[in-house]
Amino acid sequence: MAEPRSSVASRVLSVLGAIERARGPLQVSQIAESTGLPLATAWRMVRELVEWGGVEQLDDGRYRIATRVWAVGSSAPCVRRIQRDSSRLLRDLAAETGRGVHLSVLDQDSALVVSTAAPGGRVPPGAVQEGDRLTGDDPAARLLAAFGGSADDLPEPLREIRRHGLSVGRTGPAGTTSMSVGIANPAGAVVSALTLTGPAGVAWQRLVPALREAGAAVRYSIYREELPAAERRAR
């Protein structure tokens, strides 16, 4: 007998919720345990989500949220509010520091840029643009990689980034440096990176407090309805 539509929908959503809340990608067995679904049902829901594009499988067999979920959600009023508020915060940070700013999320093996800002609104040649993918040694990509799995499995440079929650390095055009901090979801998983970009040789350490404060503000703008009451009051 076929499952009722509502039952199928609730199971699919429970799988998406389990993956979104996790601190990293999950095996199907972990998804089944988190949702309370039978293993065979969890496997079927995951495969349907993969075919649709909402979940992607990594090389090690684990699963994580894919960008189609972001794309579908971007038309919702709450997501438009998130994008509006985040854009304002990025513009404020760019104005305060005189540096370019971008917000990126992990997508497959790269950091996908979803929002940008430039001081005075003037975007210099070669600057990061929305839709760009940052890979390899880019500080945002390295920061997201540092929080993408167990610390025991990471090389020492990524462990160092994970310990300090900060990634700094050369990036983009010659003579350019970027510095990234992570933004965690309410479950504590780092799911995005906020980045400052500007000339190399600048005393970047003095910009760390402003970057961390902006990261906390962006986190609040995205997750304020899901945060504990005490954390909301603190803002």
Domain made up of 5-70: CATH architecture: Orthogonal Bundle (1.10)
Q: Where in the chain is the domain with CATH 3.30.450.40?
A: 75-234
State residue 5's pLDDT score: 40
State residue 174's pLDDT score: 66
Superfamily grouping for domain 75-234 = GAF domain (3.30.450.40)
Q: Where in the chain is the domain with CATH 1.10.10.10?
A: 5-70
Q: What is the pLDDT of residues 12-31, one digit of tens each?
A: 888 888 887 776 788 999 99
d(CA 126, CA 192): 22
With 0.85 as the threshold, say if the pTM is over it.
Answer: no
Cα angle 55-59-62, degrees, rounded to a multiple of 5:
50
Q: Which residue has the tokens 């998406």?
A: 16
Q: List all residues 6 or more positions away from 16 whose beta carbon is below 8 Å from its beta carbon.
A: 49, 54, 55, 65, 69
pLDDT exceeds cutoff 70 at 74: no
Cβ neighbour number for residue 225 with a 10 Å cutoff: 8
Contact 132, 197 (CB under 8 A): no
pLDDT exceeds cutoff 80 at 84: no
Contact 140, 195 (CB under 8 A): yes
